[in-house]
Structures are given as C-alpha cells and as structure tokens.
Amino acid sequence: MSTIKQLNIPDLGDVDEVEVIEVCVEVGQTVESEDSIMILETDKAAMEIPASVNGTIKKILINVGDMVKQGMPFVEIETIKEADKKNKKNRNRY
Amino acid sequence: MPIQERTFFAKDPDVLKIVEDLTDEDIYRLNRGGHDPYKVYAAYHKAVNSSGAPTVILALTTKGYGVGSREADNTTHQVKKLSLDNIKAFRDKFNIPVTDEDIEKIPYVRPPEDSPEMQYLRKTRENLGGPIPRRRKESEVLTAPDEKTFTKLYSGSEERKISTTMAAVRVITDLLKDKEIGKRIVPIVPDEARTFGMEALFRQVGIYSSAGQNYEPEDADKVMWYKESKEGVMLEEGITEAGAFSAWTALATAYSNYDFPMIPFYLFYSMFGFQRIHDLAWAAGDSQAKGFLIGATSGRTTLNGEGLQHQDGHSHILSSTIPNCLSYDPTFSYEIAVIIKDGIQKMYVEQKNFFYYITTMNENYEHPPMPKGAEDGIIKGMYKLLPAKKPVIRLIGSGSILNESIKAKDILTNYGIESEVWSVTSFNLLRKDGMEVERRNQLNPNKKELKTYVEECFDDNSIPVIASTDYMRAYAEQIRPYIKADYTVLGTDGFGRSDSRASLREFFEIDANSIARAAAYTLFKNNVLDKSKLKQIYDDLEVDPLKPNPWEV
C-alpha cells in the first residue's frame, strides 16, 4: 500500500522568508528520509531540507529562486507503508 | 642527636622504629623516590590500576643525581662541562664498565646483545611497535573528491549576496557527502557553530558525544535541531580553542600516527586563532599536520567592530611564522573552492606536508564567476581580476577589502584614470616565492635569472601599485622587494573600534575613497596627474588633511 504525502516546510527556527537555492531531487526519484530535497539559504546559512519519509518523488512544488516560509508545501512523495511505519517509530524528528 | 630524630622520620614513631638502626651513611644512601626504579615502578603500577580519577605522581629527585660533587649543587644548571672526577663518580655510582684509561674519551658503552638490559630494551620497543618512535611520512593516497563540489562555485552567486564563510561551509557540507572521502571529513568548532551557519550540520552529521544524547534538546522539533550522538561526526568542543585545536591536531596527524588520513576543518573566530593557540599550532606544524583551519569573521573591519572578537588584523602575519602553513585571504567563493580543492590534492593525493589557514568573512555580497584560467594564480597567490586597456595604476587587495579596490577603480575611471585590479589571495605565498627565487638566483649566478611570480605578473614593472587589505600593513609590505615601481600599502594598523563597516574602513583608510586618494597622490608624484587634477580629486573625496592617525588614537 502506498499513499501520497504532501510535505510542508518545517520549522526553520529564527527566520521568516528564505530563498530556495537548489532543488536536489527529480520527479520519479526514490528518496530516504535523510536525503535532501532542497537547499534554502538565509543571510547566514544554507539549510538542507530532508525528505523525512522514504518514498518516491511525485511532484515538486517549488523552484529555485522562490521565497518560501514555514508551513508551505514543497513536495509530494509517494510513501511506502512499511518504511513509513518504521519512520514513525523513529519519532517525528527531522 | 642521631639524624633520625632531627629529620622527618621522627614525625611518626612507626617510621622512626624502622630506621633506628641505620647509620648516617645508610640514610644518605636511601634513595629518593624519583631515582628508585622499584618506587617508580610501584607508583606507575598503582596509577595504571586505579580508576575513576587521574593520578598525579610526585617524584622526589636530586638535581645532578649521580655526578659526585655536583650532586644537589645549586649551580648545576650553569655547569657546561663535568670534571673528570664527576664523570668517574657517575661511572662508579652506576657501575658503568669503563676503565680509567678510557674514560677521558667518554666512550659509548653498549651492553652485549644477550645481556638482560639489551633483551629488555628490545622486547619493550617491540611491544611499542618498533625500534624508535617514528613518523610515517606517507600514508594511504586518498581519491580526490567529486569535482562538482568545487566547480559549482565557479559560476558565481548570480545576484545572491552570500559570505565566504557560507561558501566554505557549503564546500565542507558537500565534502561530508562525498562517496570517496566523506568519511574522512571532520568539522570542528570551539563554539559559534551558528554564527558560521553550520547548524544544518548538527542534524545532517550529528555532533559526536561519547555518551550519546541523554536529553531532549529544546529545538527537537526544528529542522536544524541540536543532535548529539555516538555516531556523530562533528566536534563541538565547548568554548576551548586549545581543546578544539588539539582535536584538530590529533586528526591532522592521524595519517602518520594511525596510517589513516583524516581531513579536519577547524572553524573559529580568526581573532581567537593563532594568537590564542600559537604554541599548539607550532607543534602541529612540527608534527607535519595536514588539514584546514578556517579563520572566520576575519579582518579588522569585517563585522561592525563588536569588540575583541572582530579585530583580527594580524592572523595572517602570525600564520606566516609557521613554515609549513599555507595561508590565504580569499574574497570570492570560487577562490575558496579552488584553494580547498588544491589543498586536498596537495595534502592527501600528492602527500605533501602542508596545512592550510584560510580566512573567511561574514559580509554578504555578490560573487562573480571565476575569470577564465584564474586557478593557477589563485593557488600561487594572485591573479588579474579586472583588466584595463592602458592602465596607469594597479590596485591590488585581498579579503573583503578587494571589493573596495574594485569600487576605487570606478572612482578613478570618473577622472579618466585607467586601473587594473588584482586579487591577492596570499601575500604570504608571494613572499615565499620571492625569497626562493632570490636565493636560487644568488646560488646560480651563471644561469638565466629567474623571475619572482610578482615580477611575472607585473610584466610592465613601471606601473605604481596600491595594496589594500583588512590586515596590518606588514602583511602586504612583504612583497615590496619584488615590485619595482612605487608601492603604497594601506592596512588596518591600530586597535579596532565599534562602528559600521563603512565607518571602520574610512577610519583605517582602506575604503574605496582612501584607495582612490592613495592612487591619485602616487600618480601626482609620478607626474601623471597635475596639481589641479589632484586638487579636484582631493576636494571631491573630501580629504581631511588633519584626520587623526588610526594607530595612535
């Protein structure tokens, strides 16, 4: 069984809007929870945003150059149930 | 009164009882702990077999032990030569088999191979891994990392304003993921990981902790949470530069000590670098350490002068005192990429024994694409960044102040003055090249004279040069012997202060206006500008002839 999961930009800490400087995946690519989906850049740091689930990239909702903030959807991933379960056990941490 | 009752033996009746039969001579012969192999052995045995706390062994010894009349003599340290009687006393005391006839020659005495002494020595050295402590010169040759890690920075930042610290952290982050050498990369911070934009690494690679993470970090729900783990890669040392640098040295010498090359990157406030841990840095150099030191928030005007931590106008001068330290003060992200790429190539592929000191800044600005063919110059120490058709002056600079030289070029253009801009990634390396070429020529007077790299770059050596850096003038002064034209050096001599970047650069006279002023004055002295033109430029730049001297206010 698989489900499509839409991922939203997680809590980035002390920043508001940040720029997408790199998209690291393509549609159809399989990813593991620690793989980076995209790289955001603030005044001070580049942040790689992890998939946080195992699965296959279905849709990429952002482009390089976009300004994004916490809560915005950025990717749809088709998750594989077993891996998903396992991930939940791992607590909902990034 | 017998000696026993006059001395410390008397303090304890039990002890006194033990020694009551001894003569004065017997007591004199009682050995001090530090000279008694049994006592030393017992102390070490006890230390090795105790746990839970460190052990301190205090070894009581006699100065000049065993050398007859010089024993316990206050002037022992000044003695340059032992008398024959003293040498004989030493021989007798330790039963060294040398006759009276031979002793004047002070021969070497070597116990026979089958003697217990020799057997013991051989066996003990064998247990320690070999006959003498040795330094492994060569180790495993590493595979150079994926080119893309570096080349992706060659195209510039495309209007995005970033700092060189961010560029360096990007390179380190990508290197950590490299299939070939990712496992060798260790980022180290004493503190300030967030200031350097390294917090993303907390989650990505984790911070090493021998105990793992026994608490819930308050930012556990954030994307860049503070993750400590037994498998962590990053070393967060707490606020101790000495500790962080020692960890760096252990990794930087792992190629020699463990035959397992590691690539440590130690990032710190450049002000808290060499001047705080110079002894350790010297020792690391002497141990032929390999790795990268990244001095961040470098330069005396880089961060609004918040105080002591942003007054580094001298770390490149300090780093130059260590012979095998190669230091760079880059301005653009592609320069950082080229330097780190070359560093890994030289240290871990070609197995050369250098370590690198690279300064980075936290000032955000746009980074241009790399000029074609600039790599060689970046590595050697300088390259032409902005050409001119008929230049009458050369503006050279490094770090964040190179941008001021670029702005000064525009100012000068307004007055019809054409200038070249050169990026000097390392005055220290230009100096080393100059010294080497000078001595080569001196040693080989009949061969064709070699040119220093500076002379090669400045083929027309009659054009005056203005150098500007965020460091004390002494840093850029080093290449004066190789510049045949007028050479003016601007720099940040003096204590820093709290103000904006722009004000600080004006204060130290390294801003674009000051560079333009220095250029105009030099051209006036060289009869390129006339008096009225000079006056016009000075008036436009609002030059204050009574401005206080920055290193005396």
Residues B129-143 pLDDT 10s: 787 767 888 899 999
SS3 of A89, please? helix
Percentage of chain B modeled with pLDDT above 70: 98
Residue B532 half-sphere exposure, CB side, CA atoms within 13 Å? 0
Give contacts of A52 with chain B, Cβ < 8 Å: none
Does a structural domain hold residue B139? no
8 Å CB contact between B347 and B281: no
Does a structural domain hold residue B511? yes
Contact: B166, A41; criterion CB under 8 Å: yes
CA distance B140 to chain A (A): 30
- B518 and B442 both lie in a single domain: yes
Last residue of a domain, one of B366, B393, B423: B366
CA distance B491 to chain A (A): 27
CA-nearest residue to B197 within chain A is A45
Contact: A46, B173; criterion CB under 8 Å: yes
Counting DSSP H helices and E strands in chain A, the numbers are: 1, 8
CB pairs under 8 A between A and B: 57
Is the dihedral angle over the CA atoms B32, B38, B40, B43 positive or is it negative? negative
Q: Structural domain tally of chain B? A: 3
Using one digit for the tens of pLDDT, what is the confidence trace for B354-401? 999 999 998 999 999 999 999 999 999 999 999 999 999 999 999 999
**A9, A19, A23, A44: which to substitute to probe chain B, counting the most B Cβ within 10 Å?**
A44
DSSP string, B207-259: EE-TT---S--TTTTSTT---EETT--BEE--S-HHHHHHHHHHHHTHHHHTS
Last residue of a domain, one of B97, B127, B157: B127
- B190 and B121 both lie in a single domain: no
C-alpha angle B34/B40/B44, rounded to 5°? 135
Contact: A11, B162; criterion CB under 8 Å: no
B407 — pLDDT class (breaks 50, 70, 90): very high
Contact: B195, A49; criterion CB under 8 Å: no
> What pairs with residue B497 in β-bridges?
none
Helix (H) or strand (E) segment spanning residue B264: strand B263-269
Confirm or reject contact between B155 and chain A (CB < 8 A).
no
Confirm or reject contact between A68 and chain B (CB < 8 A).
no
**Rounded mean pLDDT, B99-114:** 91
Contact: A45, B221; criterion CB under 8 Å: no
CA-nearest residue to A92 within chain B is B221
Give contacts of B173 with chain A, Cβ < 8 Å: 46, 48
Contact: B173, A48; criterion CB under 8 Å: yes
8 Å CB contact between B351 and B139: yes
- B435 and B342 both lie in a single domain: no
- B391 and B508 both lie in a single domain: yes
ipTM for the predicted complex: 0.71
Last residue of a domain, one of B366, B392, B415: B366
Find tokens 């217990």 and name the residue: B116
- B362 and B395 both lie in a single domain: no
- B169 and B298 both lie in a single domain: yes
- B8 and B41 both lie in a single domain: yes
Contact: B223, A47; criterion CB under 8 Å: yes
- B275 and B384 both lie in a single domain: no
Using one digit for the tens of pLDDT, what is the confidence trace for B135-183? 888 899 999 999 999 999 999 988 888 999 999 999 999 999 999 999 9
Residues 6 or more apart from B187 whose CB is under 8 A from it? B172, B176, B198, B201, B205, B233, B234, B235, B264, B265, B267
- B526 and B397 both lie in a single domain: yes
**Rounded mean pLDDT, A21-31:** 91
Residues 6 or more apart from B398 whose CB is under 8 A from it? B329, B330, B331, B423, B424, B425, B426, B427, B469, B470, B471, B476
Contact: B223, A41; criterion CB under 8 Å: no
**A14, A74, A94: which to substitute to probe chain B, counting the most B Cβ within 10 Å?**
A94
Separation CA B231–CA B213 (nearest Å): 11
| pLDDT value of position B76 | 66
- The domain defined by A2-89 folds into OB fold (Dihydrolipoamide Acetyltransferase, E2P) (2.40.50)
Confirm or reject contact between A49 and chain B (CB < 8 A).
yes
- B337 and B459 both lie in a single domain: no
pLDDT at A81 over 70: no
Using one digit for the tens of pLDDT, what is the confidence trace for B302-328? 876 566 677 899 999 999 999 999 999
| pLDDT value of position B541 | 97
Most confident among A40-49, B28-37, B347-356 (mean pLDDT): B347-356
Mean predicted lDDT score pLDDT of chain A: 82
| pLDDT value of position B51 | 93
* CATH number (domain holding residue B466): 3.40.50.920
Contact: B224, A13; criterion CB under 8 Å: yes
pLDDT at B462 over 70: yes
Give contacts of B223 with chain A, Cβ < 8 Å: 10-13, 47, 49-50, 94
Please state which of the ranges A10-24, A77-91, B500-514 shows the lowest mean pLDDT.
A77-91
Separation CA A90–CA A87 (nearest Å): 5
Residue B57: which domain range?
3-127
**Rounded mean pLDDT, B409-413:** 98
pLDDT at B487 over 50: yes
| pLDDT value of position B11 | 87
Q: Which of residues 3-32 of A touch B (CB under 8 A)?
A: 10-13, 19, 21
Helices B274-286, B241-252: inter-axial angle, 10-degree rounding? 20
Percentage of chain B modeled with pLDDT above 90: 74
CA-nearest residue to B172 within chain A is A46
Separation CA A59–CA A26 (nearest Å): 8
- B79 and B184 both lie in a single domain: no
CA-nearest residue to B220 within chain A is A93
> Taking the model in full, what pTM does it have?
0.84
CA-nearest residue to A94 within chain B is B223
Most confident among B34-38, B269-273, B468-472, B493-497 (mean pLDDT): B468-472
- B453 and B422 both lie in a single domain: yes
Give contacts of A41 with chain B, Cβ < 8 Å: 160, 162, 166
pLDDT at B25 over 90: no
* Strands of the A36-41 sheet, one edge to the other: A46-50, A36-41, A18-23, A67-68
Contact: A46, B225; criterion CB under 8 Å: no
CA-nearest residue to A22 within chain B is B152
**Rounded mean pLDDT, B529-546:** 96
Q: Which of residues 199-238 of B touch A (CB under 8 A)?
A: 199-200, 203-204, 219-225
CA distance A3 to chain B (A): 23
**Rounded mean pLDDT, A25-38:** 89
Task: Single out the residue of B347, B469, B225, B85 nearest to residue A92, CA to CA.
Answer: B225
Does a structural domain hold residue B49? yes
Mean predicted lDDT score pLDDT of chain B: 92
Contact: A44, B163; criterion CB under 8 Å: yes
**Rounded mean pLDDT, B413-420:** 97
Amino acid in position B359: T
